Amino acid sequence: MAHRIGRRKNVKKGFQFTLMVVGASGLGRTTFINTLCDADVVPKRESDEPDMAHVEEGIKIKPYTVELDEDGVKISLTVVDTPGFGDMIDNEYCFQEILGYLERQYDDILSEESRIKRNPRFRDNRVHALLYFITPTGHSLREIDIELMKRLSPRINVIPVIGKADTFTPIELADFKKRVMEDIEHHNIPIYNFPFDPEEDDEETIDENSELRSLLPFALIGCEEEIMVNGRKVRGRQYPWGIVEVDNTQHCDFAKLRFALLSSHLQDLKEITHDYLYENYRTEKLSRSAENLSE
């Protein structure tokens, strides 16, 4: 409910939203970012020389900012890409890098809040949601998936998505989604699951959030090119056996996720980040310093 009020208030000023995207290379992460923004935000990977394939480059954290216009509403979207995650032989280090980045943004807010003279041009770089790309194995979650979501969910809204979901038939996709959610529940991973209050919220909100929750993890297909289908121009992937359309909700969940992130649930994600995740971090950090002082 709160997100609707927020929208009306700030429509003129526009919104700021920061989204992080994490997943092993080759799962369509970069293409997704470009598809989301409908622009070449992240440059296509330069054809590296073949002598680079064995080099473990380690994870890099790269923010890109785009100005979007969503039905007249201006959104300043920052997408933080994390190339290199999961690509090394030992990926332990990747987790620390991401966690460190998220916590540094919180630290910046913390120190800004405590300043006597505030900086009028201070930029809030906190990340409001993390899309985690799950490999479409057809089995269940892998160790790295569980570890990442578990370790990062205390600091950020984690939304699991399936990259390159066009590798599944409809039955395989439904089975995989079910198994992933069972796994998430079994391991007590507190992902962002479009929370609603069955007592307090209106029916529309309940329906909307239930539907989005049932789509988890979102099946994504990314595509930057347009092709002709029956005289229409669509964003899609052409296979010898047919064409997958990115914006077709029968083919994948891209359109629904995009609407949730940039319209219906933008405020909710920001509020949870500020009122809950940041607050927890702040409390933990300040209690730690208090403990250190008293020793």
Partner 1 sequence: MSLDAEQSQPVLQSYVGFDSITSQIEKKLLKRGFQFNVMVVGQSGLGKSTLINTIFASHLIDSKGRTQPDEPTRQTVEIHSFTETVIENGVKLRLNIVDTPGYGDQVNNENCWEPIIKYIKDQHSSFLRKELTAMRDRFIQDTRIHCCLFFISPTGHSLKPIDIVVLKKLTEVVNVVPVIAKSDSLTIEERIAFKQRIKEEMAFHSIKLYPYASDEDDDHDQALNESIQDLIPFAVVGSEKTIIVDGKTVRGRQNRWGVINVENENHCEFIHLRNFLTRTHLQDLIETTAMIHYESFRSKQLLALKESGQQQQQQHHHH
User: Are the C-beta atoms of 144 and 22 separated by less than 8 Å?
Assistant: no
Using CB under 8 A, pick the residue from 146, 206, 234, 255 that binds partner 1: 146
Name the one range near partner 1 by CB under 8 A: 20-28, 69-77, 115-123, 197-205.
20-28
By CB under 8 A, tell whether 292 contacts partner 1.
no
Q: Which of residues 69-98 bind partner 1 (CB under 8 A)?
A: 87-92
The whole-angstrom separation of Cα 258 and Cα 244 is: 18
- Collapsing DSSP to helix, strand or coil, 276 comes out as helix
Q: Determine contact, residues 216/160, Cβ cutoff 8 Å.
A: yes
Minimum CB–partner distance for residue 267 and partner 1 (Å): 33
241 binds partner 1 (CB under 8 A): yes
Q: Does 55 bind partner 1 (CB under 8 A)?
A: yes
CB nearer partner 1, residue 124 or residue 175: 175
- The reply to whether 45 sits near partner 1 by the rule CB under 8 A is yes
Residue 239 binds to partner 1 (criterion: CB under 8 A)? yes
Which contiguous run of DSSP H or E holds residue 258?
A: helix 254-259
What are the φ and ψ backbone dihedral angles of 270, each rounded to 5 degrees?
-70, -40
Nearer to partner 1, 73 or 99 (CB): 99
Residue 51 is a binding residue for partner 1 (CB under 8 A): yes
Site for partner 1 (CB under 8 A): which residue of 127, 130, 216, 245?
245
How big is the chain by its Cα radius of gyration, in Å? 20
Judged on CB neighbours under 10 Å (0-12, 13-18, 19+), 78 is: middle
Select from 76, 113, 138, 279 the one that contacts partner 1 (CB under 8 A).
Answer: 138
Q: How far is the CB of 199 from partner 1 (least distance, A)?
A: 30
Q: Which residues, listed in sequence order, are joined to residue 229 by a DSSP beta bridge?
A: 232
Q: How far is the CB of 187 from partner 1 (least distance, A)?
A: 7
Query: Is 197 exposed, middle or buried, given 0-12, 13-18 or 19+ CB atoms closer than 10 A?
Result: exposed
Among 19, 27, 42, 79, binds partner 1 (CB under 8 A): 27
The Cα diameter of the chain in Å comes to: 73
- How far, CA to CA in Å, does 262 sit from each of 108, 120, 131, 178? 25, 26, 13, 26
Of 183-191, 203-211, 266-274, 280-288: span binding partner 1 (CB under 8 A): 183-191
- Confirm or reject binding of residue 177 to partner 1 (CB under 8 A): no
Q: Quick one: 81 or 183, whose CB is closer to partner 1?
A: 183
140 close to 180: Cβ distance less than 8 angstroms: yes
Q: Residue 193 and residue 174: Cα distance in Å, rounded? A: 17
The amino acid present at 130, given as its one-letter code, is: L
Judged by the rule CB under 8 A, the positions of this chain that interact with partner 1 are 24-27, 45, 47-48, 50-56, 87-92, 135-144, 146-147, 164, 166-167, 169-170, 179, 182-183, 185-187, 237-245, 250-251
